[in-house]
Amino acid sequence: MDLMDNDPFDFLCNFKKGDQVRFERFVHRTFNGGDCLFFLHSLRNIYLNHGGLEAVFSEGYAAEGTIFGTLNYFRRVFLSIPYEKHVCKHIADVSANASAKRLNMFLRWMVRSDEHEVDFGLWKGIPTSSLMLPLDVHTGDVARAYGLLTRKQNDWKAVEEVTDVLRTLDANDPVKYDFALFGIGAFEGKEDLIYTPTRSKL
């Protein structure tokens, strides 16, 4: 935020070549300055030429009808400008069976809304009922412990399996269970989980 003068939208829209210098030494885990600059250029392209992120995701959903198709569509648009091969690892590819945890979490924030206002609920082009669980080690372990998931890998097939089960509990808002699944896994520890081969109700 500091590097974008605490006004990211204005910064992207008015991004100049000279602004690149401040990002060249940026590093966060495996995300480096070159990756960051590509993201800035891609987001600039999306906001100036595609109507913004909401428009891209909404158009993807309208065209494909599933979150799987929506995420594929978004990835194509995001990589529609020239890029170095190494940046691809930072944009989940569900067609290669990636779980896309971060993108599913982002969609949960932007689409989902309830009386507790945990998520923003700003986007209206994607129904809450279509959202997919942001699957990680915590949600995966707990889902298996409660018999909600049988697949061992935390990949897209597992996302589909566990979300389908959660829809049987609440078809309109399946990812609301993300809070319980993550919380149990992150704060109670694996040693507290009792694994069962049968599905039980949350």
Q: At 67, which amino acid appears?
A: I
Cβ–Cβ contacts within 10 Å for residue 104, how many?
A: 25
Nearest to 23 by CA among 8, 3, 41: 3
Domain extents in the chain = 95-192
- Rounded to whole angstroms, the Cα distance separating 124 from 137 reads 30
SS3 assignment, position 21: helix
- Rounded to whole angstroms, the Cα distance separating 17 from 157 reads 42
Bridge partners of 28, per DSSP, are 31
Give, in degrees to the nearest 5, the angle at Cα 153 between 163 and 192: 80
Q: Based on the number of CB atoms within 10 Å of its own CB, is 141 exposed (0-12), middle (13-18) or buried (19 or more)?
A: buried
Q: Are 149 and 165 in contact (CB under 8 A)?
A: yes
pLDDT per residue over 177-186, tens digit each?
A: 999 998 886 6
pLDDT per residue over 28-84, tens digit each?
A: 999 999 999 999 999 999 999 999 999 999 999 999 999 999 999 999 999 999 999
pTM: 0.89
Nearest to 73 by CA among 83, 84, 59, 87: 59
Q: What is the pLDDT of residue 115?
A: 84
